[in-house]
Amino acid sequence: MSFIPLPPPIAEVTVPDCFSPSALGSSGDCRLRLVIASLRRSEWTERLASGPEAAVGTLLHRVLERAGRDVGASPDEIFRQEYERAVDEIRRDPRRAHFADLASTRSMAGWSRVKAWVLARASREGPPTSARGSPSGGPRPVAGAEVGLESITLRLRGNADRVRQLASRVFEVRDFKTGATLDERGEVKEEIALQLRAYGLMLLERRPGADVRLVVDDGEEREIPFDTEARRAAKDVLRRIARAMPRPGLARAEELATPGKSCWGCPIRHVCPAYLASAPGWWKQYPAGIERLSNDVWGTVLEVLGEGRVDVVLRDEARRRVRVDGLDPRHGITSRLVGNRIWFFGLEATGTTRGFDGTRFHPRSFHELPRDRLERRAWALHVFLNAEGSPGRTDVPAG
């Protein structure tokens, strides 16, 4: 087993000319997160791999895209082929191979529901409509799957999942989501609504004066208001974001990072100097104004219990004694690592994360593999060791 060293922290990034609408909401007020989320994977490879939820989302998008393109192909056959392709890709990625059997990451009923939803949407796809250009030299069509849209003034560029032309000047923009779309009030999350409105505004730049309908489809169709007032408010927000972003070119990561509520689930937090410096303080004193902290912890290994599937006790960076149970044998953690530094990103909390008075705290007890059906597996856990990754004692803190 070769251990993975923690990559060096980000020093500089290249700011692109436009940003990704799908990253607007999750990036919040952190410009570093928005910059990196807007770069192509080939331009920035150092990201934490996402879990099965994202893989199911990719599968869904591929099936729908092909269903809209391949005339006469059976949705079942497309689903089968794309599922096999996804499994093959995941199996070849050592960070994700443990969930290559994608269907088994959900209950049978849950998987049947997702599959039925995808097949129902795929069966309804009409004949293909090219989004790439008009052979007659007229305005470029704006209907089809993965339709590229951009706005130079708003500094936005991205692909809408599906645009349908319902009448000569009536369009529907549809975004498919496999994760949670509603907030605690039962309304579509603000960040998702902003993403859809960004697509709507970009579409209006291509088709001024058109009627645009925005739909989030998570198995149910949820319409996002896009009247004059909603457009104006969205434009204000997007202009504000664009103005706050630096000019295209090199920028220092520390000047762009804003550690806080956007750090939850951020795929570059393991290499973000601001997060690595701030998080241990948050573990000791849960920060006001942050709803959720990522279930991460790092420190020095004090004990490794068991063999194969092991439990680890560590002294974390906030000097707390912390326990991480049920670590998968794929990490190759053994008692030889006692005294070494170790980093965990993407654990599951074991037990409650709130005190009796309802206040949140960062747990001292985590797990990867569940003990029973009530616990969730930490599918997207990443473990890093100190630079060489070689077992070798460093100072073990007392206590």
Closest by alpha carbon to 173, among 150, 137, 146? 146
Binding of ligand SF4 by 24 (CB under 6 A): no
Positive or negative, the CA dihedral 291, 295, 298, 299 is positive
**Stretch touching ligand SF4 by CB under 6 A, among 26-34, 113-121, 124-132, 321-329:** 26-34
Q: How many residues at the interface with ligand SF4, by CB under 6 A?
A: 14
| Number of other CB atoms surrounding residue 201 within 10 Å | 21
Name the residue nearer to ligand SF4 (CB basis): 258 or 365: 258
Three-state SS at 217: strand
Separation between Cα atoms, residue 335 and residue 136, nearest integer Å: 69
**Stretch touching ligand SF4 by CB under 6 A, among 151-159, 258-266, 300-308, 376-384:** 258-266
Binding of ligand SF4 by 176 (CB under 6 A): no
b/e 339-376 (16+ beta carbons within 10 angstroms → b): ebbbbbbbbbbbeebeeeeeeeebbbebbbeeeeeebe
**Stretch touching ligand SF4 by CB under 6 A, among 143-151, 262-270, 359-367, 389-397:** 262-270
13, 20, 22, 33: residue in contact with ligand SF4 (rule CB under 6 A): 33
CB of 270 to ligand SF4, least distance (A): 9
**Stretch touching ligand SF4 by CB under 6 A, among 67-75, 113-121, 268-276, 362-370:** 268-276
* C-alpha angle 184-185-186 in degrees, rounded to nearest 5: 90
CB of 296 to ligand SF4, least distance (A): 10
In the sheet with 382-385, reading across from the earlier edge strand, the strands are 348-349, 365-367, 321-327, 310-316, 297-305, 341-345, 382-385
CB of 345 to ligand SF4, least distance (A): 10
* Binding residues for ligand SF4 restricted to 273-292, rule: CB under 6 A: 274-275
Binding of ligand SF4 by 270 (CB under 6 A): no
61, 222, 269, 362: residue in contact with ligand SF4 (rule CB under 6 A): 269
Query: Do the beta carbons of residue 341 and residue 299 sit within 8 Å?
Result: yes
Query: In degrees rounded to 5, what are phi and psi of residue 165?
Result: -100, 110
Binding site for ligand SF4 (CB under 6 A): 30, 32-33, 257-259, 262-263, 266, 268-269, 272, 274-275
